[in-house]
Amino acid sequence: MSLFSRLSLFFSLLLIFLAPALVQAQAPGTMPKPTVTVVRVEEKEVGRQLQRVGRVQAVERIELKTRVEGFLEKRLFEEGGRVRKGELLFVIERAPYRIMLDKRRAELAGVEASYINASSSLKRVRELRKKGVASEATLDNAINEEATAEAALLQARANMEEAELDLSYTEIRSPIDGQISMSNFSVGNLVKPDSGTLATITSVDPIYVTVSVSEKNLLEVRRQGLHEEKKPFVARLQLSDGSIYGYTGEFEYLGTEVSQTTDTITVRATFPNPEGLLLPGQFAHVLVEEREKKKRLLIPQATVQQDRQGYFVLVVTDDNRVQQRRIEVAGAQGTQWIVASGLARGERIILEGLQKVRSGMEVNVVEQ
């Protein structure tokens, strides 16, 4: 027998003996167990959190308008800059109103002289009447002349006060501390009361953040007393870059009715804003957080799955088998869920490898 024939016979016999072992190795029951990464259920002292999208609003928003007509002489602020209460912002042509004030003062001086003369005449006529020298008609005429002069005096004083007021309106000052917008008019433009807004000032510190919260979520808040001196919840903000705003907010307003379209209530918190980081109109994630912390069970949000029946996790039992477990969550704490029921402290739940397993399977466990 040739060498080639002997080798062929040898490999044929080898395959016959190894075939049962190969078949057994490929049987489903002997497939390698999947490996999963697990984390343990933690217990920490935390406050529950509710996250909603809120909108930043100014506490005060003032539209500056002129009360008098005239040419705009000066604009004394930097557009977009900060202004202080009482700071001079616009000056409207003052000369016509100063001239009118001088005219009213002159008129007042003349009327005051006429009034003094009428009063003196009335006094003399009364003395003459007592002596029987002046007639009753003369006395009545003197009384009427004094009353007419007094009315003219009151009118002249009112005219002068009006002129003083008009002159003061030519200077437009900031009624609040805040940030001012662009000017809608340039120096030299004619402005008048119906010209519209010259510029807008919005307050920046403090600042409001409003958020709509479901009526169901607010039941406990109302029970604990939102309007009490020590409120049970505080507000925090997560900014667009993911960072947490450096100041906490205090809830000071709860809407008076539930929206019939969204079933929500408007809640408002006040935040310090000394650096002007928050601007009216911007959006921010509002974290409604309990002030008092309690011991609660925490698990990573990545371990939780959801279907029509609710939330569930995959637990690894002591014998390394997978078990589906229904849970109830009671809010969030950062990237973790607070577990209200369904788990116990120290239990192992699958964090990585969820797609490779199903309930009842035996797994290899790697603990994070």
- Domain map (residue ranges) of the chain: 31-46+295-367, 50-59+203-292, 64-90+174-201, 95-169
Question: Is the separation of the CB atoms in 155 and 163 below 8 Å?
Answer: no
* Distances, alpha carbon 217 to alpha carbons 25, 39, 212, 265, 287, in Å: 56, 30, 10, 10, 13
| Cβ 211 vs Cβ 233: under 8 Å | no
Separation of alpha carbons 87 and 215, rounded Å: 44
d(CA 316, CA 349): 6
> CA 338 → CA 229, 294, 329, distances in Å?
27, 11, 6
State the DSSP code for 33.
P
Q: What is the pLDDT of residue 217?
A: 65
The answer to whether residues 43 and 296 touch, using CB atoms and an 8 Å cutoff, is: yes
What is 31-46+295-367's CATH topology?
2.40.420
Return the pLDDT at 219: 66
Q: The pTM is what? A: 0.65
What's the rounded Cα separation, in Å, for the pair 254 and 267?
5
DSSP, residue by residue, 86-104: T-EEEEE--HHHHHHHHHH
Q: Kindly give, in sequence order, each residue whose CB lies less than 8 Å from that of residue 298, ignoring residues fewer than 6 positions away.
A: 41, 42, 43, 44, 46, 333, 336, 337, 338, 339
CA distances from 272 to 30, 58, 241 (A): 64, 12, 19
Phi and psi at residue 182, to the nearest 5°: -70, 150
Per DSSP bridges, beta strands 35-40 and 364-367 are: parallel
The CATH code that applies to domain 95-169 is 1.10.287
CATH topology of domain 50-59+203-292: Elongation Factor Tu (Ef-tu); domain 3 (2.40.30)
CA distance 185 to 153: 40
Fold of 64-90+174-201: OB fold (Dihydrolipoamide Acetyltransferase, E2P) (2.40.50)
- Report mean pLDDT in 10-residue bins for the chain, 368 residues: 54 53 50 88 79 89 94 94 94 95 94 92 87 84 90 94 95 94 94 94 93 73 57 82 87 80 84 90 84 83 90 92 90 81 91 88 88
Give the integer Cα–Cα distance in Å for 169 and 191. Answer: 12
Q: What is the pLDDT of residue 368?
A: 80
Q: How many CB atoms lie within 10 A of CB 115?
A: 20
Residue-level pLDDT at 26: 47
DSSP reduced 3-state for 24 = helix
